[in-house]
Chains A and B, each alone.
Chain A
Amino acid sequence: MCNQAVCLVAAELERQGISTVVLQLLRVVAEKVRPPRALFVPFKHGYPLEAPNDPPRQHAVIQKALGLLEGSLEAPPLLREFVR
């Protein structure tokens, strides 16, 4: 449910002129809900940034996610998998 909820909030932010990127833990949900931009992460539920108390790993995910915000000319939805 969390995956859908952040997608729906992201859509409203985009309608109001704010660029968004969401992390997604369930690809099947993101493909059905279709957020504007999403990064699929290969981690279990409860661990969207992979590991607690591990800033480098958390930064790696955030960096990939924020990277989706810049420079894409593709039509939405922009759905990408996290690759190290």
Chain B
Amino acid sequence: MGELKEFSITVRAFLMAYPWRRIDPIPWTPLIKKLAQCRLALISSAGFVLPEQAPFDETIKGGDVSFREIPSDAHVSSLIETHRSDSFDHSGINADPNLAFPIDRVRELSEQRSIGSINRRHLSFMGSITAPGRLVKESAPAMASLLREDGVDAALLVPV
């Protein structure tokens, strides 16, 4: 398990005092199909962008709540990590973006027919968001709408 003790005293104090958002009521969409019949999308908060996309803006107070669409056929080596946090070791996701954005792994699941299909696009954002109001009110609904329009059945969300 990731643990609070991984962080500096300053970060630990912040996390202990932080007013975490409680999801209440908890929305629930049961999966009514087998996974082998489902269209899957990935959402990663590791801050990956493609070379032609703008990096996430580390100067925005409270966090950059924008997101990027990553085509599902993007080559994993083309992903550039722009996460601003210095509270974790970035070397793993830089060596292999699949570690937090497993586009190769879901491709393999599709080839094995463990999932029905991969959505045409995945979504990427930078999860270092201390003021999530606009994430909840604007970005998350926009992300959900895109994936709903695509006919996505299920999503795997990966923090970093």
Taking beta carbons and an 8 Å cutoff, which residues of A are in contact with B? 1-29, 32-36, 40-53, 55, 58-59, 62, 65-66, 69-70, 72, 75-77, 81
CA distance A52 to B15 in the complex (A): 27
A-B contact pairs, 30 of them (CB 8 A): A1-B63, A1-B85, A5-B127, A6-B158, A6-B159, A9-B139, A11-B26, A12-B141, A12-B143, A14-B28, A17-B29, A18-B152, A19-B31, A20-B156, A21-B154, A22-B158, A23-B159, A27-B1, A32-B20, A33-B20, A33-B22, A33-B23, A44-B6, A46-B90, A46-B160, A49-B100, A62-B105, A62-B109, A62-B156, A69-B35
CA distance A62 to B40 in the complex (A): 12
CA distance A27 to B90 in the complex (A): 21
Interface of A is mostly: mixed
**Chain A's nearest CB lies how many Å from the CB of B34?**
7
Q: Chain B interface residue count: which class?
A: 35 or more
Residue of B nearest to A35 (CB): B23
Q: How many A-B residue pairs have CB under 8 A?
A: 228
CA distance A10 to B98 in the complex (A): 20
* Neighbour of A65 across the interface among B27, B28, B95, B156, CB < 8 A: B156
Question: Across the interface, which residues of B come within 8 angstroms of A11, CB to CB?
Answer: 23, 26-27, 140
Taking beta carbons and an 8 Å cutoff, which residues of B are in contact with A? 1-4, 6, 15, 20-24, 26-31, 34-35, 38, 40, 43, 45-46, 63, 85, 87-93, 95-96, 98-100, 102, 104-106, 108-109, 114-115, 125, 127-130, 132, 135-136, 139-141, 143-145, 147-148, 152-160
B100 close to A44 (CB less than 8 A): no
CA distance A62 to B102 in the complex (A): 9
CA distance A20 to B29 in the complex (A): 8
Residue of A nearest to B45 (CB): A2
Residue of B nearest to A66 (CB): B35
B22 close to A46 (CB less than 8 A): no
